Amino acid sequence: MRESDQEIDAKSQQQRKLPNNMDDEMDMIENLPEAMLLHILSFLPAKDVLKTSILSKRWRHLWMSVSNLSFEEWRPDKFVMFMNSAERAMMCRDVPRIEKFSLSSHMLNSACINALISKALSFKVQDFSLRLVYVGVPISLPHHLFSCPTLTVLNLEEVTQFPCTACLPNLKKVRLSCCLLPHQQSLLHFFSGCPKLQKLILNRCFWRDANLGFISTPMPEPVDITQLPSTTCLPDLKELELSFCLLPYGQSTVQFFGDCPKLQKLTLKECHWGLAKCLYISTPMLESVVICDATSSSGCKVVISGSNIKSFSYYGDLRTTYCLCSSSIVDAYIHVHSKGKIEREGREKEVAHRVHKLIMEFCNVEHLGLSPDTLEALAYAEELDLPVFQRLTRLELKRKSVDLSCRALNRLLQKLPHLDCLDFRMGVFLSKKHKNFALDPLPPCFLTQLKIIKIHTSSLTDEELHAVGILFRVSTVLEKVYISGGGLNKNKISMLARESKFEIISM
């Protein structure tokens, strides 16, 4: 017998058994507009969305109208129950479309999984994410996944079977992680069926060898690499991110991304240059470049050219030489890590010269970010003169607390005549042994330009207060000091002597 609405409400009241204050909160939620409730439910896993049907009469059918569905289950013993719940959720849909569909599970039953995927595609899904861990022989996915006209976002992880062709006319964003891709020419043919593709992310993928039928790994280590085709023709691509990739193996000189005329943002993470001696990256619309260097790459010169590049970020230990042929960069960041390893390998001078070469390319930037390790690397080559940064107004020091006695820091500050904001993202300190420390010579910007100092720290130590006190005494035109850590830190620095009157603001 079908339950009446009164019985459902009574049953849900008994099941909830909420304290009075929680009942009040529940009433507030129930009074929200339906559109807002559906928006809130769209952020929950599907299994939790289904549970809301017992809350009250209003909630009984509300879950059927949720447009975002996320299914996840990794316990093999719960797979059958999980699939039954997912099938019920799909069969009882009360809306003609699904905006976002996500499925993460072991591939224990290919027929059930493929049926669920097909059902989702029938609802004209736009954003589709799939992560399947295979148990046994890899299974092919439904071919119509790669010919769905409504798809705009496709996120596939650990997928091993791809067709050689695709017809995804509205696809704009693709992320492939730990996938076994078709051989290079087939992949290019595959992407030719995605005419509106604007963002592509390849992470730890493998290539299927066209002749041998298995993964091609020309380098013994690391094995998680993707060898890219020598040309990549994606005419509408705006963002490209490559992680753990290998550039065309065996070529001494490579020109890359030239067939991506609209590319604006390029991110290279832990990529390997193979045997390439020189790599040219050039595309007319490129605006942002982010490089996280692979620790095993070396011996290659990377030339990055573009008249529209506005932002450049580098993370690594500079085993590769970088040349930036662009005077348009306004925002730059360098983080040299593995300082101990650099010293053990005796690469101090080499790294110092490469840091200096990069910084010389940034003479027109307005915002410069450096890590303390980068500054310390510069200290290995004090004979190298730094350029004057006539346009730079903001210096940001990240990653860890900065030692105010670092000589490379003072050398840099001398070259920043128009510095307006000095931002210590992880704090600044000075050892108590430097009782009579002075910034000598005093950077001119402290007397004429520096108006803002930002200090990010949880709790000011004596060494940090020592450093901040010195900064206050030499900053004659300071207007604002931003300090994190709450009122206690604000009170501490309020007690310090200062050369000028300025406002102290808690962050």
Convert the pLDDT of each residue in 185-200 to its tens digit: 667 778 888 989 999 9
Mean pLDDT of the chain: 80
Residue 98 in contact with residue 69, Cβ under 8 Å? yes
- Residue-range domain boundaries for the chain: 1-66, 67-161
- Between 337 and 94, name the one with better pLDDT: 337
How sure is the predictor about 256, in pLDDT bands with cuts at 50, 70 and 90? low
232-241 residue pLDDT tens: 567 889 999 9
Q: Write the single-letter amino acid at 405.
A: S
What residues pair up with 282 in beta bridges, in sequence order?
305
Which of 182-191, 299-308, 340-349 is predicted least confidently?
182-191
Grouping H, G, I as helix, E, B as strand and the rest as coil, residue 474 is helix
**Cβ-contact 358, 392 below 8 angstroms:** no
pLDDT digits (tens, 9 = 90+) for 96-126: 788 889 898 887 778 888 898 999 899 999 9
If you ran DSSP here, which 8-state letter would residue 272 be given? B
Give residue 184's pLDDT: 63
User: What confidence tens digit (pLDDT) does each residue in 83-93 have?
Assistant: 887 887 777 77
Mean pLDDT in residue range 210-220: 33
Chain centroid to CA 466: 36
* pLDDT of 216 strictly over 60: no
3-class DSSP assignment, residue 370: strand
Range from 22-31, 141-150, 270-279, 375-384 carrying the lowest mean pLDDT: 22-31
Are 311 and 293 within 8 A, CB to CB? no
- So what's the pLDDT on residue 367? 98
Q: Which two tokens stand for residue 98?
A: 């699904």
| DSSP sequence for 17-36 | ---HHHHHHHHHHHTS-HHH
- Of 203, 285, 292, 189, the closest CA to residue 236 belongs to 285
Q: What is the pLDDT of residue 223?
A: 34
**Averaged pLDDT for residues 44-59:** 61
User: Looking only at Cα atoms, what is the longest distance across the chain?
Assistant: 90
Above 60 in pLDDT, residue 210? Answer: no
Q: Could you give the CA distance from residue 97 to residue 123 in angstroms, rounded to a whole number?
A: 5
- Residue with the larger pLDDT of the pair 313 and 325: 313
| pLDDT of residue 319 exceeding 90 | no
Lowest mean pLDDT among 405-419, 428-442, 492-506: 492-506
Residue 418 DSSP symbol: T
pLDDT at 432 over 90: no
CA 262 vs CA 156, 238, 239, 450: distances in Å: 24, 6, 9, 39
Q: What is the DSSP string of 111-161?
A: HHHHHHHHHHHHTT-SEEEEEEEESSS--PPPGGGGG-TT--EEEEES---
Q: Taking residues 347-374, report their average pLDDT.
A: 92
